[in-house]
Chain A
Amino acid sequence: MGFSMVIDLNKCIGCQTCTVACKRQWTSNEGQEATWFNHVETKPGRGWPRDFHDMTPPAGVYAQQGLKGRIPMLAESGGRWQFDLESLKPGRYDPQKPLAPKTAEKGNAPDWGPNWEEDEGGGVFPNSYFFYLPRLCNHCEEPACKKACPRNAITKRDDGIVLVDEPNCRGYRFCVEACPYKKLYFNPQLGISQKCIMCFPRVEKGLPPACVGSCAGRARHFGLLEDPESPTHRLVKKFGIALPLYAEKGTQPNVFYVPPFSATGFNADGTPNGQQRIPMDYLKELFGEEVEQVMATLNAERAKKARGEPSEIMDELIRYTFNEAWKLPAEEEFGKHV
């Protein structure tokens, strides 16, 4: 029990303002070029790191057969991209040498990165489809990273925030291996692992996490999952319209997603077929069987609005007042609610 986030995939526009707000706040130092506590990927796709989903077995298998995950290879993460802006400076410009990224690790041109598959999508034209999936540490109820750390250097605070105790970390990277979402990052400069801190220094002062407060699509909701006044409680518990990603990994994430609508597909003759173009099976892969019921609820509620009837669920998702997208304990009361 603790802080939770709901990300509405109908409102996420893939702009990465969350990504950059987080980056500029926490991970702009040397050694962190490829550290993205938060990033947004386009689905369907192989994701970032590439095929990260396949790097850890489902939790059941983990328990029974002692299988564990693995660390992403350089080719799978794409490495730390460097740009030689100095080469354009007065006196150094060489028109024969275009400005292009090189990896810090090997000096080669990168061939993967956190948004490599931006807006490519799946399906066969004109039945193409895609949507955005923002990903950050899920601050899981059963954090695989915490279990995997031999130094007990990963803690879950009383408010649910999962933290790497950086001074105690030795950079063994068992946590990186274990995390099914690959949301821990090794910092070669410091020799430690780092991850999303759910902006606790801001949250403690009554401010929303940077990714929530800066979300230009107004897609994020934040608060304590069990607090009835929290928007996340309403969306997850009361309305039941937000689901975790890859629940089968068994870590019980505290980040939930409102699944996406999509435009009607076309029959072979080019007439609209009335079916959403994102295949339901694909949504089930990500969000489980329950997604079908959630989509039905969302469609029914939206139809109510179209008929001019009220809908509490749609109003919650529209979020007329942005500053109500989060509900935090007051600064002086921080810790009492959790």
Chain B
Amino acid sequence: MTLNRRDFLKASSAGFVAAALAPNGFLRANAALAADMPEPPQFLSVEEIYRRQWRWDRIVKASHGRSNCMSACSWDIYVRDGIIWREEQNRVYESQEEGVPDFNPRGCQKGACYSEQTYSPLRVLHPMKRVGPRGSGRWERISWDEAYTTIADRIVDTLAENKPQKIVYDHGTTNLDFGPDQMWESRLFTLLSTTELDSWGLVGDEMMGAIQTLGMQNIEGSSDDWFHSDYIVVWMGNPVYSRIPDAHFMTEARYNGAQLVCLSPDFSATASKADLWIPVEPRTDAAVAMAAVHVIINEKLYKEDYVRQYTDLPFLIREDNGHFLKVQDIHPSAKGKFRYYAWDRKANAPFEMPGCWDHDAEVTKLPDDVDVALDGRYEVTLADGRKINVRTNWNVLVERVQKWAPEMVAGETKVNPETIRKFARDFANAKSPMIYASWGAGKGYHCDLEQRLKILMCALAGSHGKPGGGYRVAGWYTPEGWPVVSYGQAETVGEEFKGVQRFISVLEATGLDTNETLLRAMMNVSTEDPVFLENMSQAMRIAAVPAIPFYYMLEPDWQQTMAQVEDRTYPRRLAEYMNEALQSEGYKNIPHMTHAEIPSVFIFTGSNPLRRLWRHDAIEKGLWSKIDLVVGVTPQLNYTSLHADILLPSAGWYEKLGIKYCSTYIPYLIINDKAIEPQGESKCEFIMMGELAKKITERAIAKGKTEFTDLFGRRKDLSTLYKQWSYNDKFPPTDEGKEKAYDFLLTVSAISNPYFMSMLREHGLGRALKEAFGDNTTLAQLRREGAVKIRSTGKYSAINAVGSEMEEGKTITPHIWFIRDHKRYPTATGRMQFYIDHPWYVESDEAHPTYKPSPALAGNQQQFYLSGGHTRWSIHSQWRESPTMLRLQRGEPVLWVSVEDARRLDIANGETIEMYNEFGSCQCQAKVAAAMRPGTVLMYHAWQPWQFRNGVSDKTLYGSPIKPLHMVGDYAQLNYRLAGAQPGHAPRDTRVSLRKITA
């Protein structure tokens, strides 16, 4: 409404005079109208003032693709006058099953204020060159061309020495948006055959216990499946903080009659929603689990049929050497070492169990005429005629657990035996008990033992693979097109992946590179067998290197630190284990690791590696100082950018087209559309990497250094780099090229187009092209709806371990394939495996899961366990400097201290304190809480060092040595692959002391 002078006078005379005179009303109206008000001041009613604030030019569907938050969500972005004013959840999800709540409104407080960061003073708006010493924060603005040239020259020179491993690419953990930005960024570094740091273990997200037991670490369906549970156990997790859009399924399950149980040292936010909270002494969870297993077994509460079918517990173990009885023990010429026996009571003889890693059968179903014994001790004759005794795995396990009665662990765990009994009984008697463990469960030294025991509990209760049941760690529905582009190479992956002609024709028809081997292999795999796919993943020759061994090898200070705090209960020293592992078959296949050198170029994208690294102070002085060129690709200044040499500004969310990665929790494909142009000179990664590829090509030709040999012995040609990167300019680094790339992804990925692959496989190219296109999820549809339900759960991969198809009218329950369909697990035994007969495990008494006390690695002499967890307030260090978020906390890092300890140490709530151990000290505010456990202090995740009172973060206090057993690389599932088995981070085994800071 625009008032003319006459209207204005009328309005004034009608009683608006007071408003006209009121300076506040004037300002307020003016502020609200600043954008569309060419006229002199107008005087509005309060209602009109506010109504005018609900006017928008456009609403765009977007999300926060690469923010590495597990709870994917779609947002409406409200744009007026080219400015993003706010965002609100896009409430479009439907209930998947009658009688189960829907997913709305997905999104949390962080997503609700990302637009604040769009305009944050911390945005990097131009390419920058460092001019002061590293860490000084002194910068000079440069042109994109200068930035690209500096980087390209260094890359070309390094490759010319045939040392691609000296270029290190770090994109954080799975910091992927699953869209063209991430795909074509990874593609560039794959084509250059550089080292790609795999940081799963580094951040402690590595679920080694799950990998040991199930051969995979991400085991989850849709979060509404939780609603089917009648006994939900949150154990090593805090979903009320870290799964904000999904937590309601737990509170709603509770209203539906379920019991919610939480085990944690402190009274966590999730404990506040529980019916039973079991306060556990830190790092003794495995002892509680051992006692629970004791109760379930001794009171015969287990489901015997389930245990016999789906676990390795009927398998035979040799009494003489503690290893499984292998087929090769009896038939030395048999092919494959991972083939084992159980005892058939009908035949009264060993029976080779189908579906083991090296067995031909891909299913584990037992024939009807076989009666496998769960218990017993038998005599077998080996090939050399020797007679030996064997016992079933179950028989050994039952004997082992006898010493773990609840009374025996009460002292250490500080949990009353009756409480454990009640927990164990209720768990085993429930219809569908579930253990939510997620990624808090990976951050302890012996976390693998805990995870194995929790999975054992689920197996005994027969609940894994049931709606609402089993062990849960979030995963992803991965679009196949993403690894194809990211890791597709122009070389064959091996003879075993044959029969690809039909797909090659498709590629030719679509004009894509016909040598996309991975794509060929993937599209033509006639099986979904995880063992086959894991082997293929190994054969892909991705130049990924597990980050912890990488830093261990290159940073002497880390080696020293680890030697100082290593666990001396193992038979050998860590250094010996490391040497042995690196010479084993498994690690020999990873030349980028065995040939690792101090990097010449280190490029981090969308991540903050120095904040993430423990003892980063040592790394900054050591390894980091020896790197010639550190390049940061970041939308916003973070701590690591201070220590970079070149900063490349990347566009923020809402400024570039992408895909929010598809968390299993929410079976929807979610777009991250572009609502406004990138701020300043920033660019999306797709365009940036294409331009960099062009520059590398140009500089290589100019320098006459176009050829090099990579560590797999492949000759590479830099003069065609850009052509390879862009598929012969099919996907040029422009907005249009990116949209085409997006279309390609949607076309070839089962989550958006399940028909293409199956039509191709079954009916050939002609029909696939004719019938499988046009029915896929399209970019236009995503732009319109924001979130579109996935069409299929996609193929199995290391991080897509849903293991179930979607079924109409049903929530997605994980691992239906392995239970209902008897498909084998990718483990040595093909089943849930509770006995690892690798020599290192056998000799250190970890072949079976057990409880081992925390070695209290750093700060052994100190007073407090330092606990931690993912915070409610940030996704790693993103949102850590958001004023809106900080105003809803205490504005700076806090250390949680119990009332009792605070009283004893005379620490007041809000006072500045120092936390220290032998590695360092950091200063922050004390938060004294009745919810905190005495003897434990807690700091939540991911403050930047510059937020601490003394500029030093808690990360400097962690010793965190490698657990030697996690370096095993030559045992079926324990064999490094991207995002696969690797050593993890153990911040939770740190101890500290506190002192007051007197002003």
Q: Which residues of A contact B (CB under 8 A)?
A: 10-11, 13-17, 19-21, 23-26, 28-29, 33-34, 39, 81, 83, 85-86, 88-96, 98-101, 110-111, 113-116, 118-126, 128-132, 163-171, 187, 189-192, 197, 200-202, 204-205, 210, 213-218, 261-264, 266, 269-272, 302-308, 314, 317-323
Q: Is there an interface contact between B887 and A90, defined as CB atoms closer than 8 Å? A: no
Q: Let me know if B948 is at the binding interface, CB within 8 A.
A: yes
**Of the candidates A24, A25, A116, A305, which one forms a contact with B255 in the assembled complex, judged by CB atoms under 8 Å apart?**
A305
| A216: contacting residue among B107, B254, B416, B892, CB under 8 A | B107
**Contact (Cβ within 8 A) A125 B899:** yes
Q: Is the CB of A85 within 8 A of B54?
A: no
Answer whether residue B273 sits at the interface, using C-beta atoms and an 8 A cutoff.
yes
Contact across chains for B25 and A200 when beta carbons are under 8 A apart: no
SS class, residues of chain A in contact with chain B: loop
- Rounded to whole Å, the gap between the CB of B452 and the closest CB of chain A is 26
| Nearest chain A CB to B430 CB, angstrom units | 11
Chain A residue at minimal CB-CB distance from B106: A216
**A95 and B138 alpha carbons, distance in the complex (Å):** 12
Q: State whether A15 touches B872 (Cβ < 8 A).
A: yes
Determine whether B579 belongs to the interface, using a CB cutoff of 8 Å to chain A. Answer: no
Min CB distance, A85 to chain B, in Å?
4
B19 in complex: contacting residue of A132, A167, A305, CB < 8 Å: A167
Q: B945: shortest Cβ distance to chain A, in Å?
A: 8
Cβ-based interface call for B99 (8 A): yes
Contact (Cβ within 8 A) B50 A201: yes
Interface string of B113-129 (1 = CB under 8 A from A): 10110001110100010
CB-CB under 8 A from B101, the residues of chain A are 218, 318-322
B887 touches A317 (CB 8 A): no
Contacts of A119 in B (CB 8 A): 268-269, 272, 929, 931
B window 6-61: CB within 8 A of A: 16, 18-19, 22-25, 27-29, 31, 43-47, 49-51, 53-54
**Does A210 contact B888, Cβ atoms closer than 8 Å?**
no
Subset of 25 A-B contacts with CB under 8 Å = A24-B116, A25-B86, A83-B881, A85-B121, A85-B881, A89-B637, A90-B138, A91-B138, A123-B930, A125-B934, A128-B931, A167-B19, A167-B24, A167-B28, A167-B45, A190-B24, A213-B105, A214-B107, A216-B247, A217-B248, A263-B277, A305-B257, A306-B258, A319-B101, A323-B104
Which of chain B's residues 235-292 have a Cβ closer than 8 Å to chain A? 240, 244-245, 247-248, 251-252, 254-258, 262, 267-269, 271-277, 279
B139 partner residues in chain A, CB cutoff 8 A: 90-91
Q: B99 and A81: CB pair below 8 A?
A: no
Contact of B22 among A168, A197, A201 (CB under 8 A): A168
Task: Indicate whether A323 sits within 8 Å of B19 (C-beta atoms), given known contacts A13-B247, A81-B887.
Answer: no
A28 to chain B, nearest CB (A): 8
B171 to chain A, nearest CB (A): 23
The complex places the Cα of A34 from the Cα of B888 at a distance, in Å, of 10
Tell yes or no: B758 within 8 A of A by CB: no
Please measure, in the bound complex, the distance between the C-alpha atom of A192 and the C-alpha atom of B31, giving whole angstroms.
14
**8 Å CB contact of A21 from B88, B267, B637:** B88
- Contact A19 B888, beta carbon cutoff 8 Å: yes
Q: Which of A81, A111, A132, A167 contacts B886 (CB 8 A)?
A: A81
Chain B residues lying within 8 Å of A29, measured Cβ to Cβ, are: 31
Contact string against A for B residues 840-878, beta-carbon threshold 8 Å, 1 for contact and 0 otherwise = 000000000000000000000000000000001000000
Chain B residues with CB under 8 A of A93: 136-137, 642, 946
Task: Report the nearest B residue to A277, measured CB to CB.
Answer: B277
State whether the Cβ of B418 lies closer than 8 Å to any Cβ in chain A: yes
**Structural contact, B120 and A85, CB atoms closer than 8 A:** yes
Chain B's nearest CB lies how many Å from the CB of A322?
Answer: 4
Judged by a CB distance under 8 angstroms, whether B927 is at the interface is yes
Q: Are A10 and B254 in contact (CB under 8 A)?
A: yes
The answer to whether B135 and A95 have CB atoms under 8 Å apart is: yes
State how many angstroms separate the Cβ of B895 from the closest Cβ of chain A: 13
> Whose C-beta in chain B lies nearest to the C-beta of A304?
B257
Given contacts A24-B116, A216-B248, contact A272 B43 (CB under 8 A): no
Number of interface residues of B (CB under 8 A): 116
Determine whether the beta carbon of A272 is less than 8 Å from that of B951: no
With beta carbons under 8 angstroms apart, the residue of B31, B51, B113, B928 that contacts A24 is: B113
State whether B23 touches A126 (Cβ < 8 A).
no
Q: Tell me the complex Cα distance, A305–B416, Å.
A: 30
CB-based contact B929/A120 at 8 Å: yes
Residues of B bordering A, CB below 8 Å: 16, 18-19, 22-25, 27-29, 31, 43-47, 49-51, 53-54, 85-89, 91, 95, 99-102, 104-109, 112-113, 115-116, 120-122, 124, 128, 135-139, 230, 240, 244-245, 247-248, 251-252, 254-258, 262, 267-269, 271-277, 279, 414-416, 418-419, 422, 637, 642, 872, 881, 883-884, 886-892, 898-900, 909-910, 927-934, 944, 946-951
Taking a contact as CB atoms under 8 Å apart, the answer to whether B50 and A15 are in contact is: no
Task: Verify B24–A24 contact, CB threshold 8 A.
Answer: no
A115-B888, A271-B419 as given contacts; A210 in contact with B88, CB under 8 Å? yes
The residues of A that contact B947 with a CB separation of less than 8 Å are 98-100
> A125 — which chain B residues lie within 8 A by C-beta?
267, 279, 898-900, 930-934
Give Cα distance in the complex from A21 to B267, angstroms: 28
Task: Flag if B910 contacts A111 (CB, 8 Å).
Answer: yes
Residues of chain B within 8 A of A17, CB atoms compared = 107-109, 112, 244
Q: A20-B109, A167-B18, A214-B89 are in contact. List 9 more A-B contacts (CB 8 A).
A: A23-B113, A29-B31, A81-B883, A90-B124, A121-B267, A125-B899, A130-B272, A189-B27, A306-B258
Q: Would you call A217 and B247 a contact (CB within 8 A)?
A: yes
For the complex, what is the distance from the CA of A169 to the CA of B26, rounded to whole Å? 12
Determine the chain B residues whose CB is within 8 A of the CB of A24 once the complex forms.
85-87, 112-113, 115-116, 884
A318 to B249, CA, bound (A): 9
Q: Is the CB of A85 within 8 A of B883?
A: yes
A266 cross-chain contacts in B, Cβ below 8 A: 416, 419
Q: Which residues of B contact A33 (CB under 8 A)?
A: 883, 887
Whether A166 touches B248, Cβ cut-off 8 Å, given contacts A20-B884, A21-B88, is no
Q: Residues of B contacting A216 with CB < 8 Å? A: 89, 105-108, 244-245, 247-248
The distance in angstroms between the C-alpha atoms of A115 and B23, with both chains bound, is 33
Contact partner of B248 (CB less than 8 A), chosen from A11, A303, A305, is A11
B contact residues around A34 at 8 Å (CB): 887
Given the contacts A25-B86, A272-B422, A167 and B269 also touching, CB distance less than 8 Å? no
Within 8 Å CB of B251, what residues of A? 10-11, 13, 217
Flag if A261 contacts B275 (CB, 8 Å): yes
Contacts of A96 in B (CB 8 A): 951
A303 to B49: give the CA distance in the assembly, Å: 49
- B51/A201 in contact, CB under 8 A: yes
**Contacting residues, chain A, for B946 (C-beta < 8 A):** 88, 93, 95, 98-99
What 3 A-B pairs have minimum CB-CB distances, sorted nearest first? A93-B137, A167-B25, A270-B416
Q: Report if A81-B891 is in contact (Cβ < 8 Å); known contacts: A14-B269, A90-B637.
A: yes
Instruction: Determine which of A86, A128, A200 lies in contact with B267 in the assembled complex, contact meaning CB atoms within 8 Å.
Output: A128
Q: Which of B138, B139, B256 has the most CB of A within 10 A?
A: B256
Partner of B105, one of A271, A304, A322: A322
Q: Among A39, A93, A130, A191, find the residue whose CB has the most chain B CB atoms closer than 10 A.
A: A93
Across the interface, A197 reaches (CB within 8 A) one of B50, B108, B112, B262, namely: B50
Please state if A101 and B892 are interface contacts (CB–CB under 8 Å): yes
Chain A residues lying within 8 Å of B128, measured Cβ to Cβ, are: 90
How far is A319 from B105 in the complex, measured between Cα atoms in Å? 12
In contact, B255 and A121 (Cβ under 8 angstroms): no
A17-B109, A100-B891 known; A10+B273 contact, CB < 8 A: yes
Q: CA of A91 to CA of B112 in the docked complex: distance in angstroms? A: 31
Pairwise interchain contact B267-A91, C-beta atoms closer than 8 A: no
Contact B883 A121 (CB under 8 A): no
Contact B930 A98 (CB under 8 A): no
Q: Please report the C-alpha to C-alpha distance between residue A11 and residue B101 in the assembled complex, in whole angstroms.
A: 13
For B107, what are the chain A residues with a Cβ–Cβ distance below 8 Å?
17, 214, 216
Q: Is the CB of A200 within 8 A of B252?
A: no
A314 x B416 contact (CB < 8 A): no
Given contacts A89-B121, A125-B933, contact A167 B112 (CB under 8 A): no
